[in-house]
Chain A
Amino acid sequence: MVLAAPLTRKELAALAIDRLRRTGCEYGEVRFTGEHTQRLTARDRSMDELSERRSSGFGVRVLLDGAWGFAASHRLGAEQVERTVALAVETARASRLAQNTRVRLVPVVPERGSYITPIKVDPFSVPVEKKAQLLLEINEQLLRYGDQGIRKVRSFLRFGREEKLFASTEGALIEQTIYRSYPGFSCTAVANGDAQERSYERPPLNIGYEHIDAADLMAQTERVATEAIQKVRAPRGPQGVRSTLLLKPSHLFLTIHESVGHPTELDRVYGYEANFAGTSFATTDKLGALRYAASGVNFRADRTQEGGRATCGWDDEGVPAQSWRVVEDGILVDYLTDRETACRLGRAASNGCAFADSWANVPMVRIPNLGLEPGADGGALTATLAEMIADTEAGILIDGIGSYSIDQQRRNFQFGGDAFWKIEKGRIVHMFKDVTYCAMTTDFWNRVDALGPQRELEQWGTDICGKGEPMQIAQMSHACVPVRVRDIALGSPD
């Protein structure tokens, strides 16, 4: 008996598109994804986690009679593709029962092409022994400070390769391969009835193993351990007062993420997340008018930047990667869209923010790379971090991220940090611990009075942005410069 060779993914995609077209739907797409991740975590002298994960499958989304249906399966094969298409169509028909307004999409030119993250060293080509050894050496260096109070150390490496094949009934056929790398470590000091953590990371980026600079990681261990020990013995930060804050990019990126990224997701603005992640204060009636930030402050979305965690060739609806300003000279000028929300806004095209975190999930609007542009050369706000410190009579310098929380419409936020220093008369005086600050989004950004220059731009970001039901985890960069913000309320825990 001669067995037929299994169909390739492209053949399966062609089959899915053919079946979708036969339904008479307005639009249909299929996305095959194969994801390979490698995780190493060392805790003290133990390799707590050494794991590889491979996940593959496909998802079919159909817009039929103005209503969405989606179905996904891990089983690859012609029969399963046909069943999954049929289930997606059945689901779209059921959606019609509760559909008052037909969903419409802005047009996109169907493209055929491919994209691969430019890397120098494939992270999966580097021996696992070498990676494990690096983490255990980092931990050993940190544990040398045990007699000074370091009680717990942790280091990690994360790598990923994601292969996507996207095809649509409009004729798109796009293949993309995304590489990801992310290293870091932390240690906890215990003293005087308290425990405090200090960490160091190289930000999560779409990049190869060249991101894992062992010499740099090892070189930071002494400083990080020493700062953890200083931090646990430091006085608590002031509370119930207002202060000037100097925020390093390693900290500021998360403030940008929560207070600029999420409020400008257009699906939130339209209430799609009202039940879970929340809506937004930045409603469409304010577009072009809302004074979001101080004059001279610009936020730019950019899925084309090198190394960005959300950088790609096309989004998950086949829309080309783009770069555009969301806030220009302090004014809200644009949103983050997919094809559906762009159509509701009356735009001619989407700016390409659709993202699905796996084959099993549906694409939705996600924050792309979204950064704070450096101060203009010679600009009124432009100053280096050293100049900001020298120019500050009293304030607090914050590095790294700590606790973070923001209300469901993205106004009231409270952030901690990883390390804090008191600034007095233009000098760093000593560390604080347990500093938090609380502000309203537009009030905070309008109090920015200094922006770092281009040479202080750092490409930080996150790999754990949760949104949607079922919950999806997205990843994005927030390149930014140091800023100084005046007159912000401080609060510490009791």
Chain B
Amino acid sequence: MTLDALPAEIASKTQALEIIDQVIAGSAAEGVFVSLDGAAQALSRFSGNQMIQNVNQERASIAITSFFGSRGATATATVGNPESIEAALRSSETLARIAPEDPEWMPLLEPQMYDAPQAAFDERTARCSPLERGEIVQRVCRIAAAAGGEAAGTLAAESRLRAVGNSRGLRAAGRSTTASFSCTARTGDGSSWGEQTAWKLGALDCVAMAEAVVRRAHRARSPRAVEPGFYPVILHPAAFGELLAWVGWNLDARAADEGRSFMSRPDGGTRLGEAMFSPLVHLERNPAHPLLQSAPFLPDGQPNRPLTLIREGVPKLLHHSRYWAARKGCAPTGTFFPLTMVGSGASPMDLVSRTERGVLVHRAWYVRAINPRELTVTGMTRDGTFWIEDGQIAYPIRNLRFNQSLPHLLRDIDAVGAAERYGPMVVPAVRSGAFRFTSITDSI
């Protein structure tokens, strides 16, 4: 290995790929895959209308997977100096030599073609200073205090450099930025929350969101109790996103083929092609979505191209690992990330105006699967739950626990709103006919 110096800061794709080239050149294995991940993250955290934590993190790590025949092993190290990289390379080789033969081993990927759009990168976001973050947090806290509320939340900015390569010549690299702002406002027994994520800081409107969240926290005061039961529900994009993510994670071909998934047919085979869901459900993997603009390659080097997963309520595609795809004689898909669901032009309030009675949920919390075979989940509403009557928000209600079949939720969707970015997803608000609330809490 000839790596005798590291740049002080791995800031460019060229630098990252040079390091990968040198690791591959120094490898003694029959095959090697290298992944380099560098990030600079900053996050300001506030609570009680003041800063409680303010951090800056700089990190870089390299993961090296060596192969001898079908034996493979991975070593990961902080990219602190050439010695740490060399040690990781040798460690991966030592482990791989003694690893058991893997009956599911797959050859290294050949060089891949990637779509042209690169991940979005914004210089201002990458260089966001503590002072800039402090000034934004100061404004948000003053807004909350002036309105008689207490704000808590975070303002974060991240720049990232990711590169992969292998000894068959595959190479991919890209830089990206992400900015996010989240805010909870509490007003006595009222609470409200909102979150924005974008690829650039300038796309966040922290002040407007803080003002909206504080107003809604006031409207959430003095919540009334509603008896648990089945109710029509309108889920804000963030609440729906927390549920839809579980669907995405469980669209796996192997689990379906092996009878372990909600996509398994009881008599064997999968439910691909069945009209399982509402025709309004159109789910994609779309890294090129304008709100996301994420990298055209996946962490394992496979291309990340747009795919249709569910079209008009009919599942069209399941995730196939390279091994499972080879066994089934089809193309590997790579992971289903990021998920995007097509929406409409309607706002959540438009959905409310068309609803006779039901529950409006702004945030779903602590969602966990109860039965993976049926994809039933439980969770809580939080930070702004309201009763809808005659097309209006009638009054705030106390938070509720739900136990809900997600296939049934998607089946019963009868309206979708405009799609918004929520974390790494793009999701619309949805209205669904019968959501199962099972208990109530006093928690605000």
Which residues from chain A sit less than 8 Å from chain B, CB to CB? 45-47, 49-57, 67-76, 87-88, 90-101, 127-129, 132-133, 136, 151-152, 188, 190, 192-196, 270-276, 278, 281, 360-362, 364, 402-412, 414, 416, 434, 436, 438, 440, 469-470, 489, 491, 493-494
Tell me how far the C-beta of A442 lies from the nearest C-beta in chain B, rounded to whole angstroms: 11
Q: Is the CB of A493 within 8 A of B54?
A: no
Extra contacts besides A90-B131, A98-B137, A438-B438 (5): CB < 8 Å: A47-B102, A67-B54, A91-B56, A193-B373, A281-B442
Question: Across the interface, which residues of A come within 8 angstroms of B378, CB to CB?
Answer: 403, 405, 414, 436
Q: Cα distance A274–B182 when bound, in Å? A: 11
Question: Across the interface, which residues of A come within 8 angstroms of B374, CB to CB?
Answer: 493
Q: Is the CB of B84 within 8 A of A54?
A: yes
Near A by CB (< 8 A), chain B positions 37-58 give 41, 43-58
Question: Across the interface, which residues of B come within 8 angstroms of A100, CB to CB?
Answer: 49-50
Q: Is the CB of A50 within 8 A of B72?
A: yes
Q: Is the CB of A97 within 8 A of B134?
A: yes
Q: Is the CB of B78 within 8 A of A407?
A: no
- B275 interface hit (Cβ, 8 Å): no
Q: Is the CB of A409 within 8 A of B373?
A: no
Question: Across the interface, which residues of B come within 8 angstroms of A275, CB to CB?
Answer: 45, 47, 152-154, 182-184, 193
9 A–B pairs (Cβ distance < 8 Å), ordered by A = A50-B95, A54-B77, A57-B80, A76-B80, A96-B134, A271-B48, A406-B380, A412-B399, A412-B441
Contacts known (A136-B100, A360-B59, A412-B401); A405 close to B366, Cβ less than 8 A: yes
Contacts known (A53-B76, A412-B380); A491 close to B153, Cβ less than 8 A: no
Q: 1/0 contact trace for B121-148 toward A, CB 8 Å?
A: 0000000011101110110010000000
Contacts known (A133-B100, A403-B378, A414-B378); A493 close to B370, Cβ less than 8 A: yes
Q: Is the CB of B182 within 8 A of A68?
A: no
Contacts known (A152-B258, A408-B365); A74 close to B48, Cβ less than 8 A: no
Question: Across the interface, which residues of B come within 8 angstroms of A281, CB to CB?
Answer: 442-443
Q: Is the CB of A53 within 8 A of B73?
A: no
Contacts known (A151-B260, A152-B258); A50 close to B401, Cβ less than 8 A: no
Q: Is the CB of B401 within 8 A of A414?
A: yes
Q: Is the CB of B366 within 8 A of A407?
A: yes
Among A45, A68, A271, A414, max chain B CB count under 10 A is at A414
Q: Cα distance A275–B79 when bound, in Å? A: 33
- B279 interface hit (Cβ, 8 Å): no
Q: Cα distance A493–B369 when bound, in Å? A: 10
Question: Across the interface, which residues of B come within 8 angstroms of A193, CB to CB?
Answer: 259, 264, 266, 373
Helix, strand, loop or mixed for chain B's interface?
A: strand
Question: Across the interface, which residues of A come within 8 angstroms of B88, CB to CB?
Answer: 54
Tell me how far the C-beta of A122 lies from the nearest C-beta in chain B, rounded to whole angstroms: 16
Q: Which 6 A-B pairs have the closest CB atoms?
A: A94-B134, A409-B443, A193-B266, A412-B441, A94-B130, A493-B376
Q: Is the CB of A270 within 8 A of B48?
A: yes
Q: Cα distance A207–B47 when bound, in Å? A: 38
Contacts known (A95-B51, A98-B46, A275-B182); A440 close to B58, Cβ less than 8 A: no
Q: Cα distance A408–B150 when bound, in Å? A: 17
Q: Cα distance A281–B129 when bound, in Å? A: 37
A46, A88, A274: the one within 8 Å of B102 (CB): A46
Q: Is the CB of A47 within 8 A of B100?
A: yes
CB closest residue in chain B, given A414: B378
B138, B258, B368, B442: the one within 8 Å of A97 (CB): B138
Q: Cα distance A53–B65 when bound, in Å? A: 12
Helix, strand, loop or mixed for chain A's interface?
A: mixed
Near A by CB (< 8 A), chain B positions 347-374 give 365-374
Contacts known (A54-B88, A91-B130); A440 close to B51, Cβ less than 8 A: no
Question: Across the interface, which residues of A come within 8 angstroms of B345, CB to CB?
Answer: none
- B222 interface hit (Cβ, 8 Å): no
Contacts known (A152-B260, A469-B43); A54 close to B53, Cβ less than 8 A: no
Among A72, A152, A275, A276, max chain B CB count under 10 A is at A275
Q: Is the CB of A75 within 8 A of B58?
A: yes
Question: Across the interface, which residues of B come within 8 angstroms of A190, CB to CB?
Answer: 258-260
A55, A91, A362: the one within 8 Å of B61 (CB): A55
Question: Across the interface, which residues of A come within 8 angstroms of B394, CB to CB?
Answer: none
A51, A360, A493: the one within 8 Å of B405 (CB): A493
Contacts known (A54-B76, A99-B51, A409-B443); A491 close to B438, Cβ less than 8 A: yes
Tell me how far the C-beta of A274 lies from the nearest C-beta in chain B, rounded to whole angstroms: 4
Near A by CB (< 8 A), chain B positions 60-108 give 60-61, 72-81, 84, 87-88, 91-92, 95-96, 98-100, 102-104
CB closest residue in chain A, given B98: A129
Q: Is the CB of A405 within 8 A of B154?
A: no
Q: Is the CB of B99 within 8 A of A47?
A: yes
Q: Cα distance A361–B152 when bound, in Å? A: 19
Q: Is the CB of A74 within 8 A of B441?
A: no
Q: Is the CB of B444 within 8 A of A409?
A: yes
Q: Is the CB of B443 within 8 A of A92?
A: no
Q: Is the CB of B98 within 8 A of A57?
A: no
CB closest residue in chain A, given B41: A470
Tell me how far the C-beta of A135 lies from the nearest C-beta in chain B, rounded to whole angstroms: 9
Q: Is the CB of A412 within 8 A of B439?
A: yes
Contacts known (A71-B56, A411-B442); A406 close to B366, Cβ less than 8 A: yes
- B382 interface hit (Cβ, 8 Å): yes
A94, A271, A469: the one within 8 Å of B131 (CB): A94
Q: Is the CB of A74 within 8 A of B60?
A: yes
Q: Is the CB of B58 within 8 A of A73?
A: yes
Tell me how far the C-beta of B136 lies from the nearest C-beta in chain A, rounded to whole angstroms: 9
- B285 interface hit (Cβ, 8 Å): no
Q: Is the CB of B95 within 8 A of A128?
A: yes
Q: Is the CB of A272 within 8 A of B54?
A: no
- B436 interface hit (Cβ, 8 Å): yes
Q: Cα distance A181–B339 when bound, in Å? A: 36
Q: Is the CB of B134 within 8 A of A74?
A: no
Q: Cα distance A134–B259 when bound, in Å? A: 27
Q: Is the CB of B48 within 8 A of A57?
A: no
- B109 interface hit (Cβ, 8 Å): no
